[in-house]
Structure 1
């Protein structure tokens, strides 16, 4: 019985230390992209050929962005991005394909997030403090009229 429990514990320890890989997103394959002709196809024909992306540009003329990433989760460590691929299809103002580009993880840049907070003077004043402070601002004449 002790050997069975020890064997089960060993299997659980080994399984707990194995990496788990997760895939996120979708990037069309080269065969699908070969159907798209730069300067001829439009937004609608690109959507029919390879599907609509999960994200697109803010402006109508900016483009479609297909993103796929592979993330490794290992035990208690923070997840690590193993690979990332971005396919950018840009359009001109008329909605015609202008360019198709691929970017990898090595092409990316780390962008630090700035946490700027606007200071307010009322942050230290709670509801009751503001209520009690306003009690002295009323006059009896305003209530009698």
Structure 2
């Protein structure tokens, strides 16, 4: 009987240690990288005043985004997200490389921005409200029964 008590204690220790390991592993930060930003060496190959849109795309790759108009610049964006336990993912690092072009399509400027250079933009959500407030079709149909007079249905 003494042997089974020792086995129970040993199993209890194993369960406690496994629980502690699982708790520590659940609180480990997980990082995810999204996007692409060219390195300083890649950007050094682009010459301001000489390279064009096509040569930039050949040299450092296609941009993550480009300007809305044909004259818009190229934008390379990279983000690093941290997932920690059960909390919401958070952006811990963001880089943006903006390459602007002249009217002739020649590189005019190369700028690098980070998360610290940005500012938060509050989005204003505009939603058109309907006059129907959580009312089912049957309730709308039955609600209209008292809204007309039988004399309206009779011909004059």
Query: Is TM (by shorter chain) over 0.5?
Result: yes
Gaps of 5+ in 2: 1-10
The CA deviation string for residues 65-100 of structure 1, in whole angstroms up to 9 with x for no partner, is 111111111111111211111000011222111110
Contact 1:67 1:86 in 2 (8 A): yes
**Of the candidates 24, 48, 55, which is equivalent to residue 45 of structure 1?**
55
Q: TM-score if structure 1 supplies the norm length?
A: 0.82
Structure 2 residue 73 is matched with structure 1 residue 63: yes
Q: 1:127 deviation in Å?
A: 5.5
Q: Write the distance in 1 (CA, Å) between the matches of 2:114 and 2:73.
A: 18
**Of the candidates 68, 85, 88, which is equivalent to residue 95 of structure 2?**
85
Structure label with greater radius of gyration: 2
Instruction: Let me know the Cα RMSD of the aligned residues.
Output: 2.5
Report how many aligned residue pairs link the two structures: 139
Structure 2 residue 15 is matched with structure 1 residue 5: yes
Q: 1:118 deviation in Å?
A: 2.4
Structure 1 runs of 4+ with >2 Å offset: 118-121, 123-130
Match of 1:109 in 2: 119
Match of 2:111, SS?
strand
Q: Write the distance in 2 (CA, Å) between the matches of 1:9 and 1:127.
A: 53
Q: TM-score if structure 2 supplies the norm length?
A: 0.77
CA 1:3–1:119 in structure 2 vs 1: closer, same or farther (change >3 Å)?
closer
Match of 1:73 in 2: 83
Q: Write the distance in 2 (CA, Å) between the matches of 1:68 and 1:100.
A: 16
